[in-house]
């Protein structure tokens, strides 16, 4: 087999066989297939797509490229969730204690931030002492005893996806439905989930900019899950602006605590309850979605959810003191207010630009090895639909840097205004 012939085949819209896909993925992972040929193939897939069988074969080739977690020592149905990536997305921090409080085991593998999108592991590492690198036996025993544990993705879980994702990031081939679907689903399959809830983000801060695209991605992933005997549900949620009011690491932990204590932003609370409710139904804790949603809401109101979060922090080695005293979380030295230049309703927010601004302030990485400033980030003071007067503060930047003009300009340009009130945003579509 020759890589050039396979690129030619896909360029002409042909269907790649299982053997051909295995040849490509194992060759690229081992270094025999060079970046330039893989880049050409990715662009051909971007334009010509893949059918269901090709996507399922690509998913399995990713899974087979590395280790698979064996979670059979964990009792019960292991339900995992995955978000396709967004700005201010701290949903995992809220759902872990909620789902665990319902008695459903959450054995969570999470990633670090990438580009304009944040990562759950980075956020949790803003908590003093929090260990995201639990040894395998401790991870399993925590899930059995407390129904929850989290770890950063092991270096050898789906290494082919890791290498190809990095190449996609620099070849403008991330926003391709077959490539996202196989990338997401391979990680969930390799990390041992029995059932999966997918949070498919749509809007200016997501890879899928329209509902039609989000639906197609959602259906593609659910099909892969079904074909591999994993119960899979996809929920399409809004990412036309950052989720909640905080974008950063320590500040997102604080906002997750507020949601667990019943004082959270409406959009964050609605999305987290929806995802958690589906997870608990798949795990068998409740008979239906409505029942689950109401019960989980009660966990929040009764204090059960925040108590479970305290336990989560403790069993991962962190100091839970910040939960009663959020002011003890890392704080930036400077707070720069961005003010509206004119009056009107906030009509749109470019969430991706907000994510990039947060990264420029130090909340994310420009390069893989950059260090994160846990205290850096942004507070979205005004969101879509709110009326502002010229001179009102619309966003506050939190920074320890001397220079923040570029981030300030990005935030300013990310907001657009209109004279009439825009239609309300649906948090869950
Ligand atoms: N998240 C992933 O894990 N993979 C993608 O390709 C896009 C979002």
Contacts of 397 (CB under 8 A, 6+ apart): 334, 335, 336, 338, 357, 361, 378, 404, 407, 408, 411
**What's the pLDDT band for 365 if we cut at 50, 70, 90?**
confident
Mean pLDDT, range 374-382, rounded to an integer: 97
Please indicate whether residue 184, judged by its CB atom, sits closer than 6 Å to ligand 1: yes
**57 within 8 A of 184, measured Cβ to Cβ:** no
pLDDT for res 391: 96
- How does strand 393-399 pair with strand 334-339? antiparallel
Among the listed ranges 7-21, 200-214, 310-324, 367-381, which one has the minimum average pLDDT value? 367-381
pTM of the model: 0.93
Q: Which CATH number fits domain 330-418: 3.90.1170.30, 1.10.10.10, 3.30.70.80, 3.90.1150.10?
A: 3.90.1170.30
For ligand 1, whether the C-beta of 85 sits within 6 Å is yes
Alpha carbon separation from 127 to 122, 314, 320 (Å, rounded)? 10, 11, 8
What confidence tens digit (pLDDT) does each residue in 162-204 have?
999 889 988 989 889 999 999 999 999 998 899 999 999 999 8
> H or E element: which one contains 82?
strand 79-83
Residue closest via CA to ligand 1's atom 6 equals 180
- 168 is an active site residue: yes
- Domain 79-324 sits in CATH 3.40.50.1820: no
pLDDT band at 155 (very low <50, low <70, confident <90, very high): low
Q: How confident is the model at residue 117 (pLDDT cuts 50, 70, 90)?
A: confident
Q: Whose CA is nearest to atom 5 of ligand 1?
A: 180
Q: Specify whether 183 is catalytic.
A: yes
Compute the distance from residue 414 Cα to the ligand 1 centre, in Å. Answer: 24
Which of 298, 297, 323 lies closest to 309 in space, CA to CA?
Answer: 323
Q: Which atom of ligand 1 is nearest to the CA of 174?
A: 6
Decide if 30 is catalytic. no
Residue in 413, 258, 250, 267 with CA at minimum distance from that of residue 328:
250
- On whether the 3-49 domain is CATH 1.20.970.10, my answer is yes
Unique residue bearing structure tokens 């074909």: 227
Of the residues 168, 201, 278, 398, only one is catalytic, namely 168
**In the predicted structure, residue 92 carries a pLDDT above the cut 70:** yes
Residue 397: what pLDDT?
A: 98
For CA atoms 131, 133, 137, 141, the dihedral sign is: positive
Q: Are 351 and 86 in contact (CB under 8 A)?
A: yes
Element (H or E) spanning 354, and its range? helix 351-360
If pLDDT is split at 50, 70 and 90, which confidence band does 111 have? confident
Average the pLDDT over 142-157 and give the result.
Answer: 89
d(CA 228, CA 85): 23
Q: How far apart are CA 277 and CA 286, in angstroms?
A: 9
Does ligand 1 lie within 6 Å of residue 60's CB atom? no
Q: Whose CA is nearest to atom 2 of ligand 1?
A: 184
Task: Identify whether 90 is a catalytic site residue.
Answer: no
| Ligand 1 touching residue 24 (CB < 6 A) | no
Percent residues over pLDDT 70 in the chain: 99
Please write the tens of the pLDDT for every residue from 385-418.
999 999 999 999 999 999 999 999 999 999 999 9
To the query of whether residue 188 is one of the catalytic residues in this protein, the response is no
For the chain, give every domain's residue range.
3-49, 79-324, 330-418
CB of 206 shorter than 6 A to ligand 1:
no
pLDDT exceeds cutoff 90 at 110: no
**Domains 3-49 and 330-418 in one fold:** no
Q: pLDDT band for position 109 (50/70/90)?
A: confident
CA of 184 to the centre of ligand 1 (A): 5
Query: Does 183 sit in the ligand 1 pocket, CB within 6 Å?
Result: yes
296: pLDDT strictly greater than 70: yes
Q: ipTM score here?
A: 0.97
- Checking if the pLDDT of 116 tops 90, the result is no
Report the chain's mean pLDDT, rounded to a whole number: 94
């Amino acid at each position: 087999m020759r890589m050039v012939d396979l690129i030619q085949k896909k360029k002409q819209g042909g269907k790649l066989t299982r053997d051909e896909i295995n040849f490509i993925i194992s060759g690229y992972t081992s270094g025999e297939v060079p970046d330039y040929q893989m880049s050409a193939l990715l662009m051909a897939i971007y334009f010509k797509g893949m059918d269901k069988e090709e996507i399922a074969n690509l998913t399995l080739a990713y899974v087979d490229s590395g280790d698979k977690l064996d979670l059979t020592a964990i009792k019960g149905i292991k339900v995992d969730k995955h978000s396709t990536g967004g700005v201010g997305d701290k949903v995992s921090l809220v759902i872990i204690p909620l789902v665990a409080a319902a008695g459903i085991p959450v054995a969570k593998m999470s990633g670090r931030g990438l580009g304009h999108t944040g990562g759950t592991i980075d956020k949790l590492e803003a908590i003093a002492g929090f260990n995201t690198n639990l040894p395998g036996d401790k991870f399993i025993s925590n899930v059995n005893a407390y129904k929850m544990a989290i770890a950063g993705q092991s270096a050898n879980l789906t290494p082919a996806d890791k290498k190809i994702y990095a190449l996609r990031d620099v070849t403008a081939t991330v926003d391709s439905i077959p490539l996202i679907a196989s990338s997401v689903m391979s990680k969930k399959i390799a990390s041992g989930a029995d059932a999966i809830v997918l949070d498919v983000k749509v809007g200016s801060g997501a890879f899928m900019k329209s509902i039609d695209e989000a639906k197609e991605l959602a259906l593609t992933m659910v099909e892969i899950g079904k074909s591999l005997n994993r119960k899979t549900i996809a929920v399409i949620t809004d990412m036309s602006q950052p989720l909640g009011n905080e974008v950063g690491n320590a500040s997102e932990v604080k906002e997750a605590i507020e949601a667990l204590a019943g004082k959270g932003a409406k959009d964050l609370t609605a999305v987290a309850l929806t995802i958690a409710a589906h997870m608990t139904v798949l795990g068998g804790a409740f008979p239906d979605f409505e029942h689950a949603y109401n019960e989980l809401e009660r966990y929040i109101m009764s204090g059960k959810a925040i108590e479970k979060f305290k336990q989560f922090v403790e069993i991962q080695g962190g100091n839970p003191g910040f939960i009663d005293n959020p002011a003890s979380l890392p704080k930036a030295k400077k707070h720069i207010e961005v003010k509206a230049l004119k009056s009107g309703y906030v009509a749109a927010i470019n969430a991706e630009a907000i994510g990039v601004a947060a990264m420029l302030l130090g909340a994310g990485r420009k390069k893989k090895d950059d260090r994160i400033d846990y205290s850096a980030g942004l507070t979205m003071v005004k969101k879509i639909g709110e009326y502002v007067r010229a001179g009102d503060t619309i966003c506050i930047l939190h920074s320890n840097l001397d220079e923040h003009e570029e981030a300030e300009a990005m935030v300013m340009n990310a907001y657009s205004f209109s004279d009439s009130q825009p239609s309300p945003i649906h948090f869950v579509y």
